[in-house]
Amino acid sequence: MAQAAEAAERYEDMSRFMRKLVQWTNSTEPKQTLTVEERNLLSVAYKNVIGSRRASWRTLTSYAQDNEGKFDALVTQALSQVEQELKSICTDILELLETILIANVGEAASDVEESKVFFLKMAGDYYRYLAECVTDQGHDKKASSYYGQAYTVAQTTLPTTHPVRLGLALNYSVCYYEILKDKAEACKLAKAAFDNAIQELDKLPEEQYKDSTLIMQLLRDNLTLWTSGDVDGDEN
């Protein structure tokens, strides 16, 4: 049903189906975790649902700034609605991640370390999305904490060219730049990830080549932007 919902671009439905699947894995004995395909379906579902709200929030924020106080009440009301939707979506997926998916990795996953990095990164992503619009509740610190935990595991268990490790480095560096306002650390992290991966590119498995090289290109693009001016970077 999640696959059918994705084909129909009904991402709210897709996220509901994936939530049911995650809850089911937690009710079995022994507990199960998601396969790589199921993991990707979960990521796609929530990324599309949250993506439209993030785009709306940024557009409305920019609109308010450009119009210098005009329509303040209306724009504020619209922003409030979008923020509530965004917080609801983030709370939903973070509950699944923190209470089920991250907790179950150690006992159920066949690819324990890759799954751990994937879900810790995902928790970092959604706390980062919260931190974009809610700046006074410590979401930035939680995002940094989850990214840091994921990066520690990734550095010791995943190849430098692995797409999950590269995607983590990409988003962690964006968090440093946009949320933590640490340009130097953002550039340092992105450059290290790119340089380490380029040295091992000849060892990259064929099935990972497209995903990994795409993320490497995004890392390089962000470095170019960040060192030439204050521009928001891309993420995975």
Does a structural domain hold residue 165? no
One digit per residue, the tens of pLDDT, for the chain of length 236 reads 999 999 999 999 999 999 999 999 889 888 888 999 999 999 999 999 999 999 999 998 888 777 776 667 888 888 899 999 999 999 999 999 999 999 888 654 557 889 999 999 999 999 999 999 888 889 999 999 999 999 999 999 999 999 999 999 999 999 999 999 999 999 999 999 999 999 998 888 888 889 999 999 999 999 999 998 655 667 77
Assign residue 35 the CATH number of its domain: 1.20.190.20
Q: What's the CA gap between 122 and 95, in Å, rounded? A: 12
Q: What's the confidence (pLDDT) of residue 187?
A: 96
Q: Which residues contact 235 (CB under 8 A, 6 or more apart)?
A: 125, 170, 171, 174, 218
Does a structural domain hold residue 3? yes
Q: What's the confidence (pLDDT) of residue 183?
A: 95
Angle between helices 183-199 and 163-174 in degrees, nearest 10: 160
Alpha helices in the chain (DSSP H): 2-7, 11-27, 36-66, 72-96, 102-108, 112-133, 139-157, 163-174, 183-199, 206-228
Contact (CB, 8 A) for 193 and 168: no
Contact (CB, 8 A) for 197 and 216: yes
pLDDT in tens, 144-173: 999 999 999 999 999 999 999 999 999 999
Does a structural domain hold residue 156? no
Q: What's the CA gap between 21 and 43, in Å, rounded? A: 13
Q: Determine the Cα angle at 128 with ends 164 and 218, to 5°.
A: 45
Which residue, 174, 165, 169, is CA-closest to 226? 174
Does a structural domain hold residue 219? no
Q: What's the confidence (pLDDT) of residue 96?
A: 96
Q: What's the confidence (pLDDT) of residue 126?
A: 98
Say whether 92 sits in a helix, a strand or coil: helix
Q: What's the CA gap between 202 and 189, in Å, rounded? A: 22
Q: Which domain holds residue 92?
A: 1-111
Tally the domains of the chain: 1
Does a structural domain hold residue 181? no
Q: What's the confidence (pLDDT) of residue 105?
A: 81
Does a structural domain hold residue 233? no
Does a structural domain hold residue 60? yes
Does a structural domain hold residue 19? yes
Q: What's the confidence (pLDDT) of residue 15?
A: 97
Q: What's the CA gap between 236 and 114, in Å, rounded? A: 16
Contact (CB, 8 A) for 42 and 24: no
Contact (CB, 8 A) for 126 and 50: yes
